[in-house]
Amino acid sequence: MTNSEAQQLKSLGLAVINTEIEAISALRDRIDDDFVAACQHLLNCEGRIVVLGMGKSGHIGGKIAATLASTGSPAFFVHPGEASHGDLGMITDKDVVIALSNSGETSEILTILPLIKRLGVPLIAMTGKPLSTLAQSANAHLDVSAAKEACPLGLAPTSSTTTALVMGDAVAIALLEARGFTAEDFALSHPGGNLGRRLLLHVSDIMHTGDRIPKISDSSLISDALVEMTNKGLGMTAIVDDKDNIVGIFTDGDLRRVLAQTIDVHTTAIADFMTTNCITGQPTMLAAEILEIMQRHKINALLITDNDQHLVGAINMHDLLRAGVV
């Protein structure tokens, strides 16, 4: 490919982007009273938001429904062609319908309009033709028209689908804010994602407990610490008194400092080399909080205590890695 051919491809790509940017910019003036009315109908919905759309509008409608559902507004997509063959039964009188059609004259949607009206459910139309049948039949009309498609033939839905998608996002996020939807709420609907793990996973879910906690008494020797660290494999051990209160911690780093000196590990007390006033966490903390503490203090393991400062668990960086928090 010659440089001129490569430059031409870049120019074509930029032309498409610029055309679609212009179409999106025009939406600013359309966040109007109809937008408010549409949002009010959706906020008042006691059932589900049902999104309809054919062809490319259907693909956009599916994405809008998914965005609504994941941001606190229960929604699902129904194919208009299937709706007239039984799926219309999925719409109840407590729902709200959002219908997408650039022309506003999509026959499959117009066919079921009388049935939607008979149910008495609010209809929100997203079209590029404010005077179309669908727009005029709606309780609220969102104008998603584009001055021109990015396709040079003016045929392939490009700018028009982009404006519909952006308007759908505007509605979904406006509803999110109005409902007071939080990051924790978002995580509950995304438990398998990274955000879900960071916001839902608590230390108690992944920490080592019971006999899996590395610990020795404060009267132990360094050799006892080495045996416990080897057996439990967390790179550290807690030092506790007879009431299981933490008095210190001995880590791999402490061990390296011991080995740098001429010391008999079989006769030297652990109390002489343990780290006192160690950093601890609690079981109710989020695993992401523990990760932040460990990163801030440049440590790879942490002891977990209850409200009375009794040792109840232990966790290290490998546990966080396995849990997908890191």
Counting DSSP H helices and E strands in the chain, the numbers are 14, 11
pLDDT greater than 60 at residue 189: no
Domain carrying residue 263: 203-322
Any domain includes 85: yes
* 190 pLDDT above the threshold of 60: no
Would you say 279 and 238 are in contact if contact means Cβ atoms under 8 Å apart? no
Q: Is 101 in a helix, a strand, or coil?
A: strand
Amino acid at 12: L
Beta-strand pair 96-101/49-53: parallel
Q: Which of 181, 212, 228 is the last residue of a domain?
A: 181
pLDDT above 70 for 167: yes
79-84 long-range contacts, CB within 8 A, separation 24+: 79/52, 79/54, 80/52, 80/53, 80/54, 80/106, 80/108, 80/109, 80/111, 80/112, 81/54, 81/108, 83/52, 83/108, 83/112, 84/108, 84/111, 84/112
* Average of per-residue pLDDT across 251-268: 86
- Flag whether 164 is in a domain: yes
Tokens of 69: 């559902």
Residue pair 251/241 in contact (Cβ under 8 Å)? The answer is: no
pLDDT of 150: 83
Q: What is the mean pLDDT of residues 109-122?
A: 89
Q: What is the pLDDT of residue 193?
A: 55
Res 28 pLDDT > 90: yes
Same domain, residue pair 133 and 30: yes
Give the helix ranges, DSSP H, for 180-266.
183-188, 194-200, 203-206, 222-232, 252-259
Q: Is residue 154 part of a domain?
A: yes
* Total number of domains in the chain: 2
Q: Of 130, 150, 181, which one is at a domain's C-terminal end?
A: 181
Tell me, yes or no, whether 24 lies in a domain.
yes
Q: Contact at 8 Å (CB) between 116 and 92?
A: no
Q: Is the dihedral of CA 157, 159, 163, 165 positive or negative?
A: positive
Q: Is residue 253 part of a domain?
A: yes
CA distance 168 to 162: 10
Q: For the range 270-273, what are the long-range contacts, defined as Cβ-Cβ under 8 Å and sequence gap of 24 or more?
A: 270/216, 270/218, 270/220, 270/221, 270/222, 270/224, 270/225, 270/239, 271/218, 271/219, 271/239, 271/247, 273/222
Position 89 scores a pLDDT of: 67
pLDDT at site 195: 56
Residues 17 and 87 in one domain: yes
Q: Is residue 196 part of a domain?
A: no
**191 lies in a domain?**
no
pLDDT band at residue 97 using 50, 70 and 90 as cut-offs: very high
* pLDDT-based confidence at residue 324 (cuts at 50, 70, 90): confident
- The sign one gets for the Cα dihedral 172, 177, 179, 185 is positive
Query: What integer is the mean pLDDT of 255-259?
Result: 86
Judgement on whether residues 152 and 265 belong to the same structural domain of the protein = no
- Per-residue pLDDT tens digits for 37-83: 999 999 999 899 999 999 999 999 999 999 998 888 889 998 887 76
| Pair 171, 242 in one domain | no
201: pLDDT confidence band, cut at 50, 70 and 90?
Answer: confident
User: Exposed, middle or buried, 79 (CB in 10 Å: 0-12/13-18/19+)?
Assistant: middle
* Distances in whole angstroms, Cα of residue 326 to Cα of each of 157, 315, 316: 41, 13, 12
CATH code of residue 164: 3.40.50.10490
- Residue 15 covered by a domain: yes
Q: Same domain, yes or no, for 104 and 222?
A: no
DSSP annotation of 263 reads -
Where do the DSSP E strands lie in the chain?
49-53, 75-78, 96-101, 123-127, 140-143, 215-217, 236-240, 246-251, 280-281, 301-305, 311-316
Q: For residue 212, what is the domain's CATH number?
A: 3.10.580.10
> Six-digit token pair at 283?
């079981």
Contact of 319 with 281, CB cutoff 8 Å = no
User: Percentage of the chain with pLDDT > 90?
Assistant: 48
Q: Are 303 and 249 in contact (CB under 8 A)?
A: yes
